Structure 1
Amino acid sequence: MRHTLPIAPQFYVTAPQPCPYLEGRMERKLFTALQGESANRLNDSLSQQGFRRSQNVLYRPSCAECSACLSARIDVAAFTASRSQKRTLRRNADIDRRATSPWASEDQYELFRTYLDSRHADGGMADMDVFEFAAMIEETPIRSRVVEYTDTTTRALIGVSLTDVLNDGLSMVYSFYAPEMPKRSLGTYMILDHIAIAREAGLPYVYLGYWVPGSQKMGYKAKFSGLEVYMGGAWQPMTNPDAFSAETHPLSTDPIAEQVANIQLPDGCPTGR
């Protein structure tokens, strides 16, 4: 009888490249492959330590001289909608939500291209073709859903979120929406709806990716009450967004070896360190 030993997660660092959030900065990521029988447990564990998923990779910023990027999540129990957010919910009462398996469609890709061309024409995804888009949606080794939002009057697809289901919440991996409908505030609406989904499912958190002080692209995340950020190896409530700064000191981040040594892996998952 042949016995297969579990594969230990190996951690790597990307080469520095221009930061997409803060001008003049260089970004670097710590990452590991998401594969094997322990993929779900590894994703759950590392998501709770500030990592994000992209297809079959988990990554976390590990810039040499900057620690501005902070993983953010909403504590569902601590969230209370603001007046503006309540108006957004009322304004979008005519939207239908449908959660499906992670399969890409032509309608999704068309909306995705419209969104990128309007909002992120010079971003890293600007040249993504239909096959790369399908891979982004479909190549997932864990429990994922595509949440589609449709205008009940026109039946048009106006919003999509690729969402992972974690053991402690929902992780909004990537979202896009119709940019020609600014009055709907669809980005905010989809987050509010995911908070509602998490509440219905009894899940305590909605993971939003990274919040970056000083970046207008990420400023909207600080508008949600109950927001927590991952700092110093722990989740901390964000009480005042203005108290955070984009640190640039070379000692603001730990050495890579120390970062990897401090990563907590799930029970039964070999260390690979």
Structure 2
Amino acid sequence: MRHTLPIAPQFYVTAPQPCPYLDGRMERKLFTALQGEGAEKLNDTLSQQGFRRSQNVLYRPSCADCSACMSARIRVADFRPTRSQKRVVKRNAALTRKANSPWATEEQYALFRRYLDQRHADGGMADMDIFEFAAMIEETPVKSRVIEYHLPPGAEGNDTGEDKLIAVCLTDVLEDGVSLVYSFFEPAMERHSLGRYIILDHIEIAREAGLPYVYLGYWVPGSPKMGYKASYGALEIYKAGAWRDLVDPEAHRQDLHPLSVDPIAEQVARIRLPDSRPAPTRRD
């Protein structure tokens, strides 16, 4: 009888490029392909070690001399909204939520373009066309959902006479939580704090499903774009190989030193794979 051993994922490193979060720094990512019948298990296991998904790739920051970016997740059972967050939920009480299969629509893309043009016109996704947008939504080898938020006709901000799409979140369903892969919303409705509402509603989605965590992506202290995540209670960050309570955001430095990051080979060797075998050596 012939036995076939499972193929271990191979890890690679991107070339350095300017950091989108902290001025004057360079970013580099450690990544691996996400494919095949073991994709969901690999996504679950690596998400628990600070990795994020982008289409069929899993990645984690591995900058040469900076360790500011830390994966963040909310512990659902211990989360208690602040007064401000309660007001955000109340302000958006009229919204309806729809969970769909990962399929891109022209309506989503129109909203996505308005969002980018007004909020991130100089960002890395600013030139994304409808085909690239569809790939971002649809190319997923794991259990994903497109969560849409609609404003009913007659509600403040909707004079169209029909439901109006005002926010979207591409969400992965993990074995221990939900992961917000990418979200966008109507930029003209700034008073509604839709970005904050999406996170708060995903806490409810996780609670309804009995899942313990909401994965938010990366928290970057000192970054105007990514520092806001510290405002959510019961937040954990993945630092030095373990999940830790955030506690005091000011206690976490924006490390910038050639010895603040372990060599790539050591990072890869410590990655836990689904079958508990050690990760293979990286490939340049």
Verify same fold: TM over 0.5: yes
Q: Which residue of 2 aligns with 1:263?
A: 271
More deviation, 5-14/144-153: 5-14
SS of the residue 2:244 aligns to? strand
Q: TM-score, normalised by structure 2?
A: 0.94
Q: Which residue of 2 aligns with 1:218?
A: 226
Matches within 5 A, 1:242-261: 242-261=250-269
Distance 1:247 1:13 in 2: 20
List per-residue Cα deviations over 1:87-137 (Å, max 9, x = no partner).
000000000000000000001000111101111111110110000000000
Q: Which residue of 1 aligns with 2:184?
A: 176
Q: Which residue of 2 aligns with 1:198?
A: 206
8 A contact 2:12–2:32 mirrored in 1: yes
Q: Which residue of 2 aligns with 1:130?
A: 130
Q: Which residue of 2 aligns with 1:101?
A: 101
8 A contact 1:74–1:228 mirrored in 2: yes
Partner letter of residue 52 of structure 1?
R
8 A contact 1:7–1:36 mirrored in 2: no
Counterpart check, 1:85 vs 2:85: yes
Q: Cα distance, 1:7 vs. partner?
A: 2.1
Q: Cα distance, 1:4 vs. partner?
A: 5.2
Distance 1:2 1:132 in 2: 42
Q: Which residue of 1 aligns with 2:60?
A: 60
8 A contact 1:212–1:218 mirrored in 2: yes
List per-residue Cα deviations over 1:143-187 (Å, max 9, x = no partner).
000000000123110000000000000000000000111110000
Cα RMSD (Å) of the superposition? 1.3
Residue segments in structure 1 that go unaligned for 5+ positions in a row: none
Q: Taking every aligned residue pair, what percent have the same amino acid on both sides?
A: 72
SS of the residue 1:182 aligns to? helix
Q: Which residue of 1 aligns with 2:8?
A: 8
Distance 2:197 2:252 in 1: 26
List per-residue Cα deviations over 1:49-104 (Å, max 9, x = no partner).
00000000000000001000000000001110000000000000000000000000
Counterpart check, 1:165 vs 2:168: no
8 A contact 2:268–2:280 mirrored in 1: no
Residue segments in structure 2 that go unaligned for 5+ positions in a row: none
Q: Cα distance, 1:272 vs. partner?
A: 3.4
Aligned length: 273
Counterpart check, 1:156 vs 2:164: yes
Distance 2:166 2:56 in 1: 27
Distance 1:272 1:23 in 2: 33
Distance 2:58 2:100 in 1: 23
Q: Which residue of 2 aligns with 1:228?
A: 236
Distance 1:268 1:209 in 2: 25
